[in-house]
């Protein structure tokens, strides 16, 4: 079952339920392709996913803010102090330099290069 998706720069990322509750399968597609280009199982429940406007970075909110490169390797992750109250939404700014997460109580601006507030 698809539990979320993001689209940017000709790339589509879909989130699927994993085999256990604490697992999410992330798939990367080229728009128009019948099969995913990459698939990766993440050992955490992902709440939100977004793509950098050029489609070359994936960021998601789970137990932390995690940023992945084109091959789905982790390039940055927020530390446990910064990971409290991550928010309910996540988006890149138009330049791809910052990520913004928000909840009903606050807005957090993250450096998209290192996942720091």
Taking all residues of the chain, what is their mean pLDDT, rounded to a whole number?
A: 92
Contact 46, 68 (CB under 8 A): no
Its pTM stands at: 0.91
Q: How far is CA 54 from CA 42, 57, 97, 110, in A?
A: 23, 8, 11, 18
Per residue in 14-51, pLDDT (tens digit) is 999 999 988 999 999 999 999 999 999 999 989 899 99
CA distance 75 to 89: 21
Strand order in the sheet with 11-17: 2-8, 11-17, 24-30, 38-42
Longest dimension (CA), the chain: 41
Q: Looking at residue 84, what is its pLDDT?
A: 62
Which residue has better confidence, 98 or 103? 98
């Amino acid at each position: 079952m698809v539990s979320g998706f993001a689209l940017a720069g000709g790339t589509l990322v879909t989130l699927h339920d994993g085999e256990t509750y604490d697992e999410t399968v992330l798939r990367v597609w080229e728009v128009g392709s019948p099969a995913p280009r990459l698939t990766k199982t993440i050992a955490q429940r992902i709440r939100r996913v977004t793509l950098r406007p050029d489609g070359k970075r994936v960021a998601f909110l789970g137990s932390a803010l995690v940023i992945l490169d084109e091959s789905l390797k982790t390039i940055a992750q927020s530390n446990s102090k910064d990971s409290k109250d991550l928010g309910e939404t996540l988006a890149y700014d138009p330049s791809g330099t910052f990520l913004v997460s928000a909840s009903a109580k606050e807005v957090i601006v993250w450096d998209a290069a290192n996942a720091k507030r």
